[in-house]
Each structure stands twice: as C-alpha cells, then as structure tokens.
C-alpha cells in the first residue's frame, strides 16, 4: 500500500536538492549570466528528480518496457536537454521553439509505443483513430506550453510554477486512486522540484538583481511536459477519465484570468494569490470526484449479480469475470478469464447462495462498517506476511526486509502460470499493457523452473510444469453447457 511518509521524504529530498543546487550555482558566480542561471535551474530540476525517484525506489528498465519507463528515460531527458540548449544566448528563440514543438509532436507517440493501443494485440486503434488521438494530444501539449510561456513573459513570478506544482500533485493523487500507484508516485518528486527550483531562482533574483524571468521558460517547459506525461500515462494506462485529465492539464491556464484590465496592475502578491486560488478550485473538484470514485470502485466488490460492479459471469463455456465499462480503460464491457482453481473455488458455492458480494471480509470494528475496504484488506495481508516472516526482498542500502503483501500474491500468481501458458495468454491474465512487461517480469527469469519444465517435457509432461496439471471436470464439460448449469 502507498506509504505517505515515504512520499514526504521523496518530496523533501527532491525539493532540498533542487533548491540547494540552484542557490549554490548562483553563489559560485554572483554576477553570472542568464545562460549560467538557466542551466542551474535545468540541472537542479534533473538532480531533484533523480534523487526523489531514488528515494521512492522507482526502478526503471532500459530498454524501456512501459509508458513510465519511456517517460523517465526518453521524454524527461529530452525536455531537460532542449531547455538546456534553449538557454544559450546564441540559440535564437525560433530555434528553441522549433525544438520544443518538435518534442510536443512526438511525446504522445513515444509514451504509447509498444502498448496495446498501437501494437496490434487486440485492443489497437485503427490508423485513423491513432493519428487523430496523437495529433490532438500533441496539440494540447503544444498549446499549454506556448500559452504558459507567453504569460510568464508578460507577467513573471513564481505563481505559474506553483500552479503547475498544484496540478502535478493533483495528477499524481488521481493516478494513484485510478489504480496506477507507481505512475502516480512519479508526480511527487516532479511537483517538489518545480516549486523548489522556482523559489531558488526567485531568491537569486532578489539577491543579485538578475533578470526576474531567468529560468522561467525552462521551469515551465519541464513542468508542462512532466504534467502532460503523467496525465497521459494515467489516462491510457490507469483509470482517470478524459475530463479529469483535461481539467488538470488546462487548470494552470486559469492564471491568464489575471491579465484582464481590472486585475493586471494589482500588487504582485495579490495577482499571484488569485491565480493559485483560481487554479486550485477545479483541482479540488477533480480530486473530490476521484476520491469518491475510488471509494466506490476500488473496494473488494466482486459480486455474483450486480452488472455495475466486477461480477462473476457463468453464462459461457468457462467462468469469467465481467468488468463493466466504467471500470475499464477502453470504456467497454469486458470479460476476463480466470484461473481454473479460482473457478472451482467459486463454483463450490451453492447456486442459491450466489447473490450479493462474493467475499465479505469482516471488519475489526463492526459498529463503523459491515465489511472491510480494499486498503484495510491490504494492510491485513501485509501484517500476515510480516507475522509469517515471508520475506520477498531486502533493501541493499539499508538492509530493511520487505515482507509479502497483496501485490506479492499477484506476482506469485504470474510466476506460477508463466511456465504453463504462452506469454500472450499470461499478458491477458495479468492485464499488462504490453507483451514486453510480461516477458521482462515473468518469462525466463527463473532458470530452476525452466529446467524443471524441460525435464518434465522429456518425461511426458508436455504442459511444462513440474507437477501433473489436470483440468477439473468442471472446465472440460461439453462446451455448449453454461458453467452455472454444469457446476451448480
């Protein structure tokens, strides 16, 4: 389960590293050029991001296997490099913006590379759909980037980076509540380093009298691309809605409202405060809706007969899980195969009792609720893993032992089935976004298991597992007979 203390540590580490680096670079050269100070901001953000991700133990793969890997290993280095180059005085503004717009054009394609949307693995778009979606997303990124940069030139200050900070934090929380915890966690160091770098740059401006706008375009560029990348990942690989993603992306543009004649010439602190208040209002609404949806959808609500929730489907040849459209990324009802042993467990329930929730975990305090929520169940599973001393990992730096959690149960499920089925089948069972993820984490990692499968095959067991695996009669009956009739 998410650890709020760990996220606070990551935010603190990222913010301190960024701010201290920028201030140190400013002190090294008290009369430094704008190029030097701009470089300090870009490198400070990069340092803060790296340290924050290290605190969070975000393990990235190279070559990248999913959208988050591509975001950190391709998109982030690209925008840092572009803003570093754009800061040199010899680079004309038109060339800098050509680089920025070129990046905006390819970011969506980079993040979706190898995913089910483009790879032709069953849920892919048509060429027209893919082209339209990628073009619209690129246009939104370019427009947001350009408008915020223009506003920063007209009215310099820290309010715009802070507006991006608020939107990025909101995006991270919504992506987490949408079910993509690792993707949401990536927003923590980004939000912290944007705010800290802006503060560091502001302090240098006051101390040295440097241009009030140095580093602003770099901070905004990195912030806008970072915010867009996280929302894009949450939209296509998490469960945040298009409306919520658009609201969080466009919320910082509300800072433009202070450019009206009535407000433009007010005191800077008043203009900045008003900007942040206007940005915070839609973000609070989105966050409240996300929390409401999380409470409603993310509890262990597997049912026998409710079509609006995750439901057991016994109408076909094999038992399935029915996922309603509002819980599915593609916004369409979907059937998900389940393992034979779980099907056998479900079908042991008498037909007369197949109503309501499949599981009703009893609460510790019955006076507060009649069943446990998903977070409470997760904590109970983690306590059981620790009490049973089931160690799954040890931190090499601190020596801290990680004990089995609910997520480790999912991982062990994948490892048990990896030798039994083809990777494409395992990908669907695990609901991975791309086959590369399945191949990396579950196929070919255990030499002992692979060797056992080879010897089992030689001895006549062609299923590739060390023990005889015989399908139960329940799932080998006449395929025309519905499961609920065959096994009730």
Which DSSP state fits 369?
-
- The CATH number given to whatever domain includes residue 372 is 1.10.443
* 323 and 281 part of one domain: no
Cβ(472)–Cβ(340) under 8 Å? yes
pLDDT > 70? residue 329: no
Virtual torsion, Cα 111, 117, 119, 123, nearest 10 deg: 160
Q: Is residue 481 part of a domain?
A: no
* 290 and 365 part of one domain: no
* 63 and 195 part of one domain: yes
Q: Is 171 helix (H, G, I), strand (E, B) or coil?
A: helix
Distance between CA atoms of 213 and 152, rounded to whole angstroms? 8
Structural domain including 325 reads 311-475
Mean pLDDT calculated for residue range 232-247: 87
Strand partners, 323: 334
Q: What is the mean pLDDT of the chain?
A: 81
pLDDT at 101: 95
* 160 and 264 part of one domain: yes
Mean pLDDT calculated for residue range 431-436: 75
Q: How confident is the model at residue 449 (pLDDT cuts 50, 70, 90)?
A: low
- Chain Cα centroid distance, residue 98: 29
Rounded to two decimals, what is the model's pTM?
0.65
User: Domain boundary at 274, 297, 320, which?
Assistant: 297
pLDDT at 323: 81
* 265 and 215 part of one domain: yes
* 279 and 326 part of one domain: no
Look at residues 322, 283, 260, 80 and name the one whose alpha carbon lies nearest to residue 164.
Answer: 283
Q: Convert the pLDDT of each residue in 272-326 to its tens digit.
A: 899 999 999 999 999 998 887 776 555 556 888 877 778 888 888 888 888 876 5
Distance between CA atoms of 241 and 175, rounded to whole angstroms? 10
Residue 43 or 370, more confident: 43
Q: Convert the pLDDT of each residue in 27-42 to its tens digit.
A: 776 666 778 888 889 9
Q: Convert the pLDDT of each residue in 261-275 to its tens digit.
A: 888 788 888 888 999
pLDDT at 52: 92
Q: Is residue 487 part of a domain?
A: no
Q: Total structural domains in the chain?
A: 2
Distance between CA atoms of 47 and 25, rounded to whole angstroms? 13
User: Domain boundary at 297, 332, 356, which?
Assistant: 297
* 124 and 266 part of one domain: yes
Buried-state track 165-175, b at ≥16 Cβ within 10 A, e below 16: bbbbbbbbbbb
Q: Is residue 93 part of a domain?
A: yes
3-state SS track over 96-117: HHHHHHHHHHHHHHHHHCCCCC
Q: Is residue 302 part of a domain?
A: no
* 315 and 394 part of one domain: yes
* 209 and 159 part of one domain: yes
Q: Is residue 303 part of a domain?
A: no
User: Domain boundary at 269, 297, 325, which?
Assistant: 297
Distance between CA atoms of 313 and 290, rounded to whole angstroms? 28
* 285 and 316 part of one domain: no
pLDDT > 80? residue 456: no
* 138 and 268 part of one domain: yes
Q: Is 256 helix (H, G, I), strand (E, B) or coil?
A: helix
Q: Is residue 306 part of a domain?
A: no
Q: Is residue 354 part of a domain?
A: yes
Q: Find all residues with CB under 8 Å of 486, minimum gap 6, and list them.
A: 474, 477, 478
* 123 and 97 part of one domain: yes
Q: Which two tokens stand for residue 407?
A: 């997520």
Q: How confident is the model at residue 239 (pLDDT cuts 50, 70, 90)?
A: confident
Q: Is residue 484 part of a domain?
A: no
Q: Where are the beta strands (DSSP E) in 269-382?
A: 311-313, 320-323, 334-337
């Amino acid at each position: 389960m998410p650890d709020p203390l760990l996220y606070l540590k990551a935010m603190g580490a990222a913010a301190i590293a960024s701010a201290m680096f920028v201030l140190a670079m400013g002190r090294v050269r008290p009369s430094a050029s704008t190029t030097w100070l701009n470089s300090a901001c870009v490198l400070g953000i990069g340092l803060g991001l790296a340290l924050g991700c290290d605190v969070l133990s975000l393990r990235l793969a190279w070559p990248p296997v999913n959208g988050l890997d591509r975001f950190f290993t391709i998109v982030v280095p690209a925008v840092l490099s572009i803003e570093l180059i754009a800061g040199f005085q010899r680079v004309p503004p038109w060339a800098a913006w050509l680089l920025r717009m070129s990046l905006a054009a390819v970011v969506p394609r980079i993040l979706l590379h190898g995913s089910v949307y483009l790879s032709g693995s069953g849920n892919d778009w048509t060429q027209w759909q893919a082209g339209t979606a990628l073009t619209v997303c690129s246009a939104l990124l370019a427009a947001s980037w350009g408008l915020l940069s223009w506003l920063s030139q007209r009215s310099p200050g820290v309010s715009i980076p802070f507006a991006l900070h608020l939107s990025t934090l909101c995006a991270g929380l919504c992506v987490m509540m949408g079910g993509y915890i690792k993707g949401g966690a990536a927003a923590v160091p980004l939000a912290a380093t944007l705010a800290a770098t802006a503060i560091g740059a502001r302090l240098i401006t006051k101390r040295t009298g440097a241009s009030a706008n140095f580093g602003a375009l770099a901070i905004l560029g990195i912030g806008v691309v970072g915010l867009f990348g996280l929302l894009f990942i949450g939209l296509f690989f998490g469960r945040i809605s298009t409306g919520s993603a658009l609201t969080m992306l466009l919320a910082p543009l509300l800072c433009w409202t202070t450019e009206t004649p009535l407000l433009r010439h007010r005191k800077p602190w008043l203009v900045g405060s008003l900007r942040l208040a206007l940005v915070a209002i839609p973000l609070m609404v989105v966050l409240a809706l996300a929390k409401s949806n999380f409470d409603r959808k993310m509890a262990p609500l597997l049912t026998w007969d409710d079509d609006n929730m995750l439901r057991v489907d016994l109408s076909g040849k094999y038992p399935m899980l029915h996922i309603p459209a509002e819980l599915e990324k593609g916004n369409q009802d979907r059937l998900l195969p389940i393992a034979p042993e779980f099907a056998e467990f479900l079908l042991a329930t008498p037909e007369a009792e197949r109503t309501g929730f499949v599981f009703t975990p009893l609460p510790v305090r019955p006076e507060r609720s009649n069943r446990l929520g998903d977070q409470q169940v997760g904590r109970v599973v983690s306590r059981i893993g620790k009490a049973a001393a089931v160690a799954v990992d040890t931190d090499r730096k601190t020596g801290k032992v990680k004990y089995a959690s609910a997520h480790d149960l999912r991982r062990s499920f994948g490892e048990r089935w990896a030798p039994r089925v083809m990777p494409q089948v395992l990908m669907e069972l695990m609901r991975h976004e791309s086959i590369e993820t399945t191949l990396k984490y579950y196929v070919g990692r255990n030499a002992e298991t692979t060797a056992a499968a080879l010897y089992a095959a030689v001895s006549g067991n062609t299923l590739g597992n060390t023990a005889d695996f015989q399908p139960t009669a329940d799932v080998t009956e006449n395929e025309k007979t519905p499961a609920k009739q065959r096994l009730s």
